């Protein structure tokens, strides 16, 4: 059956049965979602129908700039939805930025925020306060009070540094990520005004090293999924570093399955399931391209993740076709490791819980049907 046919059958399945995929596996936590209060209900329905009982909204905003609403709306979900605060880069011009962001975090934590999310704009877009033609480096010491406050307040820091290695290569049809770059030319960092990926990673790791009391989650498989040896070593050297797999199955799936599996086994307590699902005016399934994804695409997106982690299939489609025209090899994780990656690690780190609860199973089995959103 080709993928178009699979899409049709998934859509059909959706209209006749609710949550058919969910029942087969333990509840899952998606630590990497971008959504808004208006979209929580639909996001939750879509996730629970795919067996995901909890999620982290990385796009919470700052106090006075969306965070109140993001936290308030999350209260309807029985503690299954948690929210990260985001820094106020626009306040960078004022002196004492790190201190002001430490205070922002104190306020955010008191309001109920559970994490901090740093976007790739740190290192690739945020200018220095004194010269707007220069980029603030990820390890600028003026940010130290913010990193320290996150540690003191027990807020793990999701940090996105750099971008796919191919985005730092010349933009042309020969670039392996041309399908995205041709739609989003602004995603290219090939020009010399941008630091190289190696320099960005080194700066990120100096921050992780300097703030051992702060937990960092390097999103997108530590932000350098192409360099498995580097991430393996970074995880070995920095006990306060975690990674999520969001939007990078296409990359990590290109490594030898045996080698990648060994990395998962070695660092099984610090790898988190995440997808980079975005729910806004349209869906984002790890990335965005020329065409809008459908709900059936979203089911396929999750199914491709599950197949990658659970089976030993070779040469299979990856979850985000726009991220490259290649196939991946699945890594067949053992059950106990799968449970940690799917939920256990995230529940411990972000919810301070031992494992899935009754509410997880209830959400997955009895969540609102996505079909209800399309009268």
> Under the criterion CB under 5 A, does residue 297 sit at the interface with Zn ion?
no
Contact 197, 166 (CB under 8 A): no
Q: Which is nearer to Zn ion, 14 or 349 (CB)?
A: 349
3-state secondary structure 38-74: HHHHHHHHHHHHCCEEEEEECCCCECCEEHHHHHHHH
Kindly indicate which of the ranges 41-49, 101-109, 179-187, 274-282 contains the residues binding Zn ion, using the contact rule CB under 5 A: 274-282
Contacts of 145 (CB under 8 A, 6+ apart): 98, 99, 101, 102
Q: Which is nearer to Zn ion, 276 or 297 (CB)?
A: 276
> Under the criterion CB under 5 A, does residue 244 sit at the interface with Zn ion?
no
Q: How far is the CB of 164 from Zn ion (least distance, A)?
A: 13
Q: Which is nearer to Zn ion, 158 or 168 (CB)?
A: 158
Measured between alpha carbons, how far is 96 from 170 in angstroms, rounded to an integer? 38
Residues 303-362 that bind Zn ion (CB under 5 A): none
Q: How far is the CB of 317 from Zn ion (least distance, A)?
A: 21
Q: How far is the CB of 152 from Zn ion (least distance, A)?
A: 25
Q: How far is the CB of 203 from Zn ion (least distance, A)?
A: 20
Q: Which is nearer to Zn ion, 180 or 276 (CB)?
A: 276
Kindly indicate which of the ranges 186-194, 236-244, 254-262, 276-284 contains the residues binding Zn ion, using the contact rule CB under 5 A: 276-284
Kindly indicate which of the ranges 237-245, 251-259, 269-277, 341-349 contains the residues binding Zn ion, using the contact rule CB under 5 A: 269-277
Q: How far is the CB of 244 from Zn ion (least distance, A)?
A: 9
Q: Which is nearer to Zn ion, 139 or 276 (CB)?
A: 276
What b-and-e string marks burial along 246-285, b requiring 16 or more CB atoms within 10 Å of the CB? bbbbbbbbbbebeebbebbeebbebbbbbbbbbbeeebbb
Q: Which is nearer to Zn ion, 231 or 364 (CB)?
A: 231
Kindly indicate which of the ranges 136-144, 273-281, 351-359, 362-370 contains the residues binding Zn ion, using the contact rule CB under 5 A: 273-281
Q: Are strands 283-285 and 277-279 parallel, antiparallel or unpaired?
A: antiparallel
Q: How far is the CB of 242 from Zn ion (least distance, A)?
A: 15
Q: How far is the CB of 341 from Zn ion (least distance, A)?
A: 18
Kindly write down the DSSP assignment for every residue of 294-340, as one continuous string: PHHHHHHHHHHHHHHHH---SSBPPS-GGG-S--B------HHHHHI
Query: Which residue among 139, 251, 276, 339 contacts Zn ion (CB under 5 A)?
Result: 276
> Under the criterion CB under 5 A, does residue 30 sit at the interface with Zn ion?
no
| Residue 58 backbone dihedrals phi, psi, to 5 degrees | -75, -10
Q: How far is the CB of 246 from Zn ion (least distance, A)?
A: 6
Nearest CA to 31 out of 213, 221, 179, 293 is that of 221
Q: How many residues bind Zn ion (CB under 5 A)?
A: 1
Kindly indicate which of the ranges 131-139, 186-194, 235-243, 270-278 contains the residues binding Zn ion, using the contact rule CB under 5 A: 270-278
Measured between alpha carbons, how far is 360 from 254 in angstroms, rounded to an integer? 32
Q: Which is nearer to Zn ion, 44 or 276 (CB)?
A: 276
Chain residue at closest Cβ approach to Zn ion: 276
Measured between alpha carbons, how far is 93 from 213 in angstroms, rounded to an integer? 28
Contact 59, 86 (CB under 8 A): yes
Contact 341, 268 (CB under 8 A): yes
Q: Are strands 283-285 and 52-57 parallel, antiparallel or unpaired?
A: unpaired
Q: Which is nearer to Zn ion, 268 or 287 (CB)?
A: 287
Tell me what percent of the chain is helix, strand and coil, each rounded to the nearest 5.
Answer: 45, 15, 40
Q: How far is the CB of 87 from Zn ion (least distance, A)?
A: 15
- Residue ranges in contact with Zn ion by CB under 5 A: 276
């Amino acid at each position: 059956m080709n993928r178009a046919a699979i899409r049709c059958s998934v859509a059909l399945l959706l209209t006749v049965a609710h949550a058919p995929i969910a029942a087969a596996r333990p509840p899952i936590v998606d630590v990497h979602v971008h959504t808004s209060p208006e979209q929580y209900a639909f996001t939750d329905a879509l996730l629970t129908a795919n067996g995901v009982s909890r999620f982290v909204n990385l796009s919470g905003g700052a106090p006075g700039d969306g965070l109140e609403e993001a936290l308030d709306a999350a209260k309807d979900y029985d503690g299954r939805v948690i929210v990260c605060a985001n820094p106020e880069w626009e306040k960078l011009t004022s002196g004492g930025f790190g201190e002001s962001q430490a205070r922002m975090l104190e306020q955010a934590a008191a309001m109920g925020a559970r994490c901090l999310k740093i976007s790739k704009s740190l290192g690739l877009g945020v200018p220095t306060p004194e010269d707007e033609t220069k980029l603030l480096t990820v390890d600028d010491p003026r940010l130290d009070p913010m990193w320290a406050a996150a540690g003191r307040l027990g807020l793990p820091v999701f940090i996105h540094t750099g971008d796919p290695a191919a985005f730092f290569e010349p933009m042309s049809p020969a670039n392996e990520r041309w399908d995205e770059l041709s739609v989003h030319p602004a995603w290219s960092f090939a020009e010399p005004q941008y630091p190289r990926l190696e320099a960005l990673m080194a700066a990120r790791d100096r921050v992780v090293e300097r703030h051992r009391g702060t937990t960092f989650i390097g999103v997108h498989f530590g932000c350098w999924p192409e360099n498995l040896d580097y991430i393996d070593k970074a995880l070995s050297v920095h006990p306060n570093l975690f990674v999520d797999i969001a939007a990078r199955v296409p990359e990590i799936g290109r490594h030898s399955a045996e080698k990648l599996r060994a990395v998962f086994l070695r660092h099984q307590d610090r790898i988190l399931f995440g997808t980079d699902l975005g729910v806004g005016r349209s869906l984002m399934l790890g990335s965005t391209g020329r065409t809008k994804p459908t709900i059936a695409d979203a089911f396929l997106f999750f199914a491709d993740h599950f197949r990658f982690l659970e089976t030993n299939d070779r040469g299979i489609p990856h979850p985000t076709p726009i991220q490259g025209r290649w196939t991946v090899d699945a890594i067949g994780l053992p059950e106990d490791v799968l449970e940690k990656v799917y939920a256990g690690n995230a529940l411990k780190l972000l919810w301070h819980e031992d494992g899935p609860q009754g509410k997880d199973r209830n959400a997955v089995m009895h969540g609102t049907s996505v079909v209800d959103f399309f009268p």
